[in-house]
Structure 1
Amino acid sequence: MRIERNHLLVYILTFGVFGILNTEMGVIGILPLIADHFHVSISTAGLIVSLFALAVAISGPILPSLFSGMNRKKVMLLVLGIFIAGNLVSAITSDFTVLLIARVVPAFFHPVYCSMAFTVAAASVNKDEASKAVAKVFIGVSAGMVLGVPVSNMIATATSLAYAMLFFAAINTVAFIATLLFVPSMPVTNKPSYGTQLRVLRKSTIWLSIAAVIFMNGAVFGVYSYLAEYLKTVTNYTWNTISLMLFLYGAANIVGNMLAGKLLKNHALRTIKFYPFALGAVYILLFILGQFSVPMAFIILVWGVLGGIGGNITQYWIVSAAPEAPEFANGVFLTSANLGTTIGASVCGLFISGISTQYVVLGGILFLIFSIAAMYPRLSITADCRYLNNAK
């Protein structure tokens, strides 16, 4: 029975993460509608995405640590309640400033729920199964990114902008009810002190891990951010085919999450060592064969799988450097990942504006080189390697 309850807990956490990522990413699909509805420019409407990400990056190392001593069930209910309220306000407001506030306030609590979900999932199973449990939660991240954009667009187009916002609220409400009814009370008995959590920042391994995650996320999302543009201008796909390819990438991403748990459980070091080279090979093929429609579909499939594996690797890489403070480490991971996405998209955008869209992959390869430069020194640290070998 305990095993069944633990599986149910992981599924609820996965759905909760899906709801939060759905709220974060889903608005991308309705930005033009938001701009029209609130009579603002598309760049101004984009603030509801960029400020959300900024709030996550700021709160990542702070709020998860502050909430780490509270009953985890109560914290999860609090965060989901805040997201429900934010989405309800977003659905009824006619003021763009109110919409921004209703988006940014919940964003500060995004790392609280997600870092806690990773920590609770890992703690709900034995040590050997921890990476697989975390990988299941990452499926919620991928599903939120994949389904949020097209579903919100479909709802808003068929009905209204308000109903799209209510859809976000409904998903969070289902997660809230499931947490309330089926998640047991989870008081924290051995909360690490704030000093213990902050002391992990003294370790060289954590800073090497942060750098590696920033560069790795920059490599993945810096190129992915311009995938639709690449498929349009280089591969010359139609918009319907581009939509299909984006779904293909997302579905492959979910498969990658499933594979990642097994890989990190059984071959952690080997997976981490070879991952940058595998992604680099995909980018080289993307550059060489990007103009050919059939090979491009296979490249996107493999790229999507590697993207899902990469998300798990980056989370594992930081948390394994600070196992004594998991909530704090997961918060640092979320901040690093968001910074990497922001920096990667900006730098890769420079390659597009400076040369052409086809050369966006050079930005990804550049970030991969930097990630290797940060990753391999950490692998050479004896104590850290011993920890990772024990995790294999």
Structure 2
Amino acid sequence: MTKQARLPAGLIALTLGSFGIGLTEFVIAGLLPQVSVGLGVSEAAAGWLISGYALSVAVGAIVVTAATGTLPRKPVLVGLVALFVAGNLLSAVASGYPMMLLGRVVAALCHGSFFGIGSLVARRMVPPERASRAVAVMFAGLTLANVLGVPFGALVGERWGWRATFWAITVIGVLALVAIAALVPGWAGAVERAHPSAGSGPSGLRAQLHAFRSWQVWLTLAATALGYGGMFGAFSYIAYTFTLVSGFSAADVAWLLVVYGTGLVIGNLAGGRAADLDRDRTLIVSLAGLAVTLLAFGLLAASPVAAVVLVFLLGLFGFAGVPGMITRVTDYANGVPLAASANVSASNVGNALGAWLGGLAISAGLGYTAPLYAGAALVLAALVVMTISARRASAGLEPK
């Protein structure tokens, strides 16, 4: 590998941080039965360790980023990872359910801001024409955590208990904190001098809020929420689709989720590379591919072979647009951190919307393929929004 193509060490440090944060988000799903018994609470109460985390991510992404907007970004990232470590440490030593929930909330507060601010820092480590690829590399940690999180938590939890899983994530967090502190360059570093315009923008709260006067910012956030909501709405009930429609056993679900996660990893990296070549076309193609995949999945879910192929494509197209959406919204917002974090919040709002609509469809007696069709409808709406946004941009109605 040439020196020019070598990944900056600081970018690898950010990827490690995103891997740890991703583990915190996904690992709990495989530990809920153990946590429920260990803390003496119902399964429904234990489920709040997931939903409470998601709500905290959506709120924290905006509040924490707004509160730290005037501070240098590297120290903020270090502080966010320290918050992540503290939250997981609380979970590891929790003496009861309230303390465990508090640990989840504390860890979640760093999530949205880390990915929002971290994506801006990541793109400043490379030339502007490689911005989306840099964001994709950082998010590779999150996609790998999606693949490994549940089996990792189940394996460690089964062998040494659920607390050991959170101790392990705490150690990963400490390693990420040290790596970011040592390897991510400060604003006076050589990388920032070489690429001074990449991802830098006003940091005052009023200036950051001013960026939201852009129609392109709002259209991109809407496309993010609808597109991500369509994928997650289908994914939320995918285990039921596999077992009750495709004919797989409950034991098969674990490796099928690995297939899905592999699609996420490949789609994220490929989408980042494609977005650097033609971002709006990449976003339109990824949304169109996701809509077609969801429709085909609904029609062919009874075929086990088709289900395997389509769940891979669900991950592939579902995450191919993520790097481009982040760089797009921050470009039209003139690089303000709040816009990048708002994109993370938008995806979590989409998650909630998609899961809610999928649940409504099942409750209405439409069957376990209904969330796939509901997801396709959301993604088609995202495609319309993205097409309108791209046409406005190409017509020069709102240049960056």
Q: Which band: TM-score by shorter chain? A: over 0.9
Partner residue, 1:167: 168
Superposed CA offset, 1:48-94 (max 9, x none): 11111111111222322332332323222212122212212211122
For residues 184 and 270 of structure 1, the distance between their equivalents in structure 2, rounded to whole angstroms, comes to 32
CA separation in 1, counterparts of 2:107 and 2:4? 32
- Whole-angstrom CA distance in 1 between matches of 2:134 and 2:108: 24
1:350 is matched with which residue? Answer: 360
Residue 64 of structure 1 contacts residue 331 of structure 1 at CA under 8 Å; is this kept in 2? yes
Q: Distance in 1 between matches of 2:240 and 2:172?
A: 30
Unaligned runs of 5+ in 2: 193-199
Deviation (angstroms), 1:191: 4.4
Aligned to 1:127: 128
- Distance change in 2, residues 1:387/1:142 (3 Å): farther
Distance 1:370 1:126 in 2: 33
Match of 2:369, SS state, is: helix
Contact in 2 for aligned 1:192/1:324 (Cα 8 Å): no
- State whether structure 2 residue 260 is matched by structure 1 residue 249: yes
> 2:118 aligns to what?
117
Matches of 1:385 and 1:156, distance apart in 2: 55
In the TM superposition, residue 2 of structure 1 has moved relative to its aligned partner by 8.8
1:66/1:2 Cα in 2 relative to 1: closer, same or farther (>3 Å)? farther
TM-superposition CA deviations, 1:20-44 (whole Å, max 9, x none): 1111221111011111111111111
Secondary structure of the residue that 1:125 maps to in structure 2?
coil
User: Does the CA-based 8 Å contact 1:29-1:153 persist in structure 2?
Assistant: yes
Cα 1:57–1:384 change in 2 (3 A) is farther
1:301-322 Cα distance to aligned partner (Å, 9 max, x none) = 2222112203234323422331
**Which residue is equivalent to 2:340?**
330
Query: Cα offset for 1:290?
Result: 0.9
Say yes or no: does 1:294 pair with 2:295.
Answer: no
Correspondence list, 1:120-199, <5 A? 120-186=121-187, 191-199=202-210
Would you say the 8 A contact 2:69–2:204 is kept in 1? no
How far apart, in 1, do the equivalents of 2:288 and 2:73 lie? Answer: 39
Matches within 5 A, 1:1-392: 7-186=8-187, 191-325=202-336, 327-354=337-364, 355-382=366-393
Structure 1 CA distance for aligned equivalents of residues 187 and 4 of structure 2: 16
Contact 1:237-1:293 at 8 Å conserved across structures: yes
Whether contact under 8 Å (1:351, 1:362) holds in the other structure is no
Once the two structures are TM-superposed, the CA of residue 202 in structure 1 deviates from its matched residue by 1.6
Instruction: Kindly indicate whether the alpha-carbon contact (under 8 Å) linking 1:132 and 1:261 is maintained by their aligned counterparts in 2.
Output: yes
Q: TM-score, normalised by structure 1?
A: 0.92
Instruction: Give the direction of change, closer, same or farther, for the CA distance of 1:88–1:222 in structure 2 (3 Å limit).
Output: same
Letter in 2 for 1:233: L
Distance 1:385 1:353, change over 3 A: farther
Against the structure 1 CA distance between its residues 6 and 298, is the aligned structure 2 distance closer, same or farther, given a 3 Å change threshold? closer
How many angstroms apart in 1 are the aligned matches of 2:272 and 2:39?
A: 43
Stretches of structure 1 lacking an aligned partner (at least 5 in a row): none
CA 1:26–1:180: 2 relative to 1, 3 Å: same
Give the letter aligned to residue 17 of structure 1: S
Q: Answer with 309-318 or 183-192: which moved more.
A: 183-192
Report the Cα distance in structure 2 between the residues aligned to 1:317 and 1:229, rounded to whole angstroms. Answer: 35
Per-residue Cα deviation, 1:146-191 (whole angstroms, up to 9, x for no partner): 2111101111111111101111111111111212333333469974
* Residue identity matched to 1:197: Q
Deviation at 1:360, TM superposition (A): 1.6
* Cα distance between partner residues in 2 of 1:385 and 1:271: 19
Identity %: 25
**What SS is found at the alignment partner of 1:185?**
coil
CA shift for structure 1 position 6: 5.9
Distance verdict in 2 for CA 1:310–1:34, change over 3 Å: same
Change (3 A) 1:360 1:157: same
| Cα shift readout 1:308-356 (whole Å, capped 9, x = no counterpart) | 203234323422331341x111111011010001111111111122111
Distance in 1, matches of 2:201 and 2:277, equals 29
Deviation at 1:381, TM superposition (A): 1.8
How far apart are the structure 1 equivalents of 2:43 and 2:298?
30
Cα distance, 1:352–1:335 mapped onto 2, change above 3 Å? same
Q: State the alpha-carbon separation in 2 of the partners of residues 9 and 168 from structure 1.
A: 20
**8 Å Cα contact 1:214-1:340 kept in structure 2:** yes
Distance in 1 (alpha carbons) for counterparts of 2:335 and 2:165: 41
Report the AA paired with residue 219 of structure 1. Answer: G
